Chains A and B, each alone.
Chain A
Amino acid sequence: MASKRVISREFMLGAIVLAFIAFLSFTTGFGSTSGIFSMLLDVSPTILGAIAMSLIIFTGNIDISAGTILGFVGFVAAMLAKAGYPFYVFIPAGILTGMLLAGLNGWISVTFKVPSIVVTLAMNMVHIGFYVTFLPNAGWVLNLSDSFTFLGQGRFFGIVPYIFVIAIAVAALFIWIVKYTKFGKSLYAVGGNRQAAIYAGINPDRTVLTVYLVEGLLLGLAGILKATTANRLMPSVFQGREMIFIAAAVVGGVNIMGGSGKLLGAVFGAVLVYLLSITMIYLGFQDYFQFALQGVIILIAVFITVSDFAPLRKRLKKLFAPKRAT
């Protein structure tokens, strides 16, 4: 048969993440508890977003409106909180908002057979236009009280943020779901070989629709987690977030064409991308370098995944190893 990869991608990524953290903590005093705390805080929503995006990408689709969906989620939750509704109302409401919006994207794409890229591209604009136009104050919500921010600003033992624990728990749950349920497998199937998936009895349309709903759920959660970290909310801050999610997924080994990739990789990818941007800030690069960085990251990571290195590999093999029995 064929050889297995000795070093898995997750292992590599995990190592890089550790190395990075070490580097940063030594050089910039980042290793202090407050530093780590804020890092965990910042990265939690991104982890969820990366997972959401990965699920979509597995099926061969994409969602460029993820960022604006986050904005809506935050807005709905914040407004409800401000109006006095308790957490068991605004949290589900936020999640529902996410599911509705993402579900709409999926529905349009599946029903009318329009590629998800264009659907979500257009919907992104619709979202932006909507909240800037129709939401009071362009969606800004100020002076949020403790009843809202307790979630984001609270911590266990004074160090570990609630939201980080939530994010990790959800991440672990979804990693399990993708591996141990039929639904998880069907995602890869639909993205890998749609015809074969049909032969295997999988309904691709239903799968895609469901995955968008799931994405919505995760985005809803991510949006709430992020929103509750501060006592004011500006939806516009979320615009463009999807790039980070895509970069995280792609760096984590998710094949942009669909059909393969590991969620754990996406989680590591999220952390890695985050660390990269932190490093750049510490090194004195301005905020907007982020954009360029994300662009380059996506290109490189996709290039590696998409390219066929077989001829190169063959040549290398001929140079080095003696003939192996297969």
Chain B
Amino acid sequence: MKGTLMTDIARSRSAPRIKFTYQAALGLLLVGLIVLFGILQPVFFHLNVLFDTTSIVGEIGIMALAMTFIITTGGIDLSVGYILQLAAIVFGVVLKGSGSLASAIVCSLAAGTACGFINGIIISKTRIPPLVTTLATMNLFRGVSFIIAGTSSYTGFPAGFKLISTYLVFNAIPVQFFYFVFLFVFFNLVYARGTLGRSLKGIGFNEGVLLFSGIRTKRILLFIYTLCGLMCAVAALIYLGRLSAAKTSMGNDLNLQVITAVVLGGTSIMGGVGSMVGTFIGVLIIGVLRKGFTLVNFSGNIFNFTLGLVLIVALIVFAVIEERKKTSGRTLKS
């Protein structure tokens, strides 16, 4: 796992130097956390326990990758947790109704994509800001997921399906981690070195100017929100594979984890600046925290609380740095 980390850092050489140092520091933080938890609970150091941390990051990670795109443009998507919930419910319902695993998967992915599309259309076509939009759609999706679920429960997924999330590569590393890394590679490539990434950063800084370069910003926005919806659906499938039940309470905590991972990773909430590598490490940190907390017998609620604090602190720190940069930048320019 650490090996992959290093190569990822090396791969993103195109990122400006300051960012590189931050991500490296973040990586150190990750290592530090591992060590900390290991000291508190030596079982943490066992390889299979370490690898197990990555099992829970599959869902968060995939959503965080897409969320990085969105936050880079200065936007946000508060509905991700509930898109996942909706996609999961759809899967359960279709599977129960038709018995066909394939159609359940397809419908689930379609549902997620549709949700993302709704977000994207509203954000790109109307002047309603992403914040308000996703605040509203978050409720909408949540409500719809309840409506579809009704009162039945959805369990009993076919064994083959569970394998999607529980298969252990080399009998050790959870397969989800590979999904995550795989997607990360693509996302990072496009983000750090691709046209899309640059356009996203441009949109985050100054959307108007991009039109001057022939870049169709509205189309790009529509795309990233729709993509996010799709990623949420993919994450839903992985989540389901792990939990084997579709419930209507999944949405809540995921939002926080996804956003915290992205912000922690160095992507600015104001847009324009960001790092996919940072998100990757951020996700891992959250995974370690989760696992670590469980091992030290802290409940999920303490975890959420800590995460909230982490987010606040990260926001404050970054905001202070931005302010510092602004005032110093002025003296440099003639």
Binding site for B on A (CB under 8 A): 62, 64, 108, 112-115, 117-119, 121-130, 132-133, 243, 246, 256-257, 286, 288-299, 302-303, 306-308
Contacts and interface: CB of A to CB of B under 8 A. Distances in A.
A32 B136 CA distance: 34
Contact of B299 (A133, A294, A302): A133
B305 A291 contact: no
B19 to A, nearest CB: 20
Nearest to B133: A299
A115 B271 CA distance: 12
A119 B308 contact: no
B223 interface: no
A168 B256 CA distance: 36
7 contacts: A118-B315, A121-B259, A127-B308, A246-B135, A288-B146, A291-B140, A294-B139
Given A108-B312, A133-B299, A307-B126, A125 B256 contact: yes
Interface of B: 76, 78, 122, 126-129, 131-133, 135-144, 146-147, 248, 256, 259, 269-270, 299, 301-309, 311-312, 315-316, 319-320, 322-323
A150 to B, nearest CB: 33
Nearest to A126: B308
A296 B128 contact: no
A306 B132 CA distance: 11
B316 A298 contact: no
A125 B315 CA distance: 14
B209 to A, nearest CB: 22
B140 A296 contact: yes
Say what secondary structure dominates the interface of chain B. helix
Given A288-B147, A299-B122, A112 B305 contact: no
Nearest to A256: B132
B311 to A, nearest CB: 4
Interface centre among A118, A125, A294, A303 (most CB of B within 10 A): A125
A125 B252 CA distance: 10
A117 B270 CA distance: 12
A128 B132 contact: no
Given A114-B269, A123-B308, A295 B78 contact: no
Given A121-B78, A121-B256, A128-B304, 8 more contacts: A62-B131, A118-B269, A125-B308, A132-B304, A133-B302, A292-B146, A295-B140, A299-B128
A108 B319 CA distance: 11
B78 A298 contact: no
A113 B78 CA distance: 21
Contact of A112 (B144, B307, B319): B319
B321 to A, nearest CB: 10
A125 B255 CA distance: 10
A291 B143 contact: yes
Contacts of B129: 256-257
Nearest to A289: B143
Contact of A289 (B78, B132, B147): B147
Given A133-B302, A246-B135, A299-B122, A292 B312 contact: no
B312 A126 contact: yes
A295 B259 CA distance: 21
A71 to B, nearest CB: 14
Contact of A115 (B136, B248, B269): B269
A125 B127 contact: no
B134 to A, nearest CB: 10
Given A132-B301, A133-B301, A291-B143, A119 B136 contact: no
Nearest to A124: B308
Contact of A306 (B128, B135, B269, B302): B128
A22 B316 CA distance: 51
